[in-house]
Structure 1
């Protein structure tokens, strides 16, 4: 239960930070943490599950918000991670991005 509360607080914090600041600044804060170890598959799954569950209760918690929240939670455990952002061209001139 404490883990889900931490996930919710992190998703809310990242969502607010992205609203009030830029992606580069928020990413800089996350990557400042001293993470040096590879996360286990179990840790990755647990964090992904917790962030996705928490994001259901946060309006506007996009995939980017969730990715940054997950990266922050992993970094707090000392685990490194990377965010990949992909862009797909939709129909017409519309671009679709996903983190």
Structure 2
């Protein structure tokens, strides 16, 4: 999944990738196994180093898709900060707690996507 999202982000606009990800993130009600939030986040973190340029955005979108498929709603947030340089960062939150994409910096959220 992370490779697919990485490739999609390099080929399409962010809005197109969000439409694709929303379509493929529908919960699987036939799924009998329940996978924990921790297991999903762990799997995204473990696989990410093996995918070239798997940025925080790639990881956040991938995490949100998989969480949603297993009935764990989350919020994808994108924030910015201007210190010495302009920086952007993406992360995932569940119940207002960051579960993926933690940072020591305080980014100002400018975009939020929930599903």
Calculate the TM-score normalised by the size of structure 2: 0.65
Distance in structure 1 (CA, Å) of the matches to 2:50 and 2:65: 19
Q: When the two structures are aligned, how many residues end up with a matched partner?
A: 82
**Structure 2 residue matching 1:88: 3-state secondary structure:** strand
Point out which structure has higher relative CO (alpha carbons under 8 A, 6+ apart): 1
Which residue does 1:11 correspond to in 2? 2
Which residue does 1:60 correspond to in 2? 53
Residue in structure 2 matching 1:78, options 58, 71, 89: 71
Q: Which runs of 5+ in 1 are unaligned?
A: 1-9, 36-41
Does structure 1 residue 26 correspond to structure 2 residue 22?
A: no
Q: Which runs of 5+ in 2 are unaligned?
A: 28-34, 91-115
Distance in structure 2 (CA, Å) of the matches to 1:65 and 1:54: 12
Calculate the TM-score normalised by the size of structure 1: 0.74
Calculate the aligned-residue CA RMSD, in Å.
Answer: 1.6
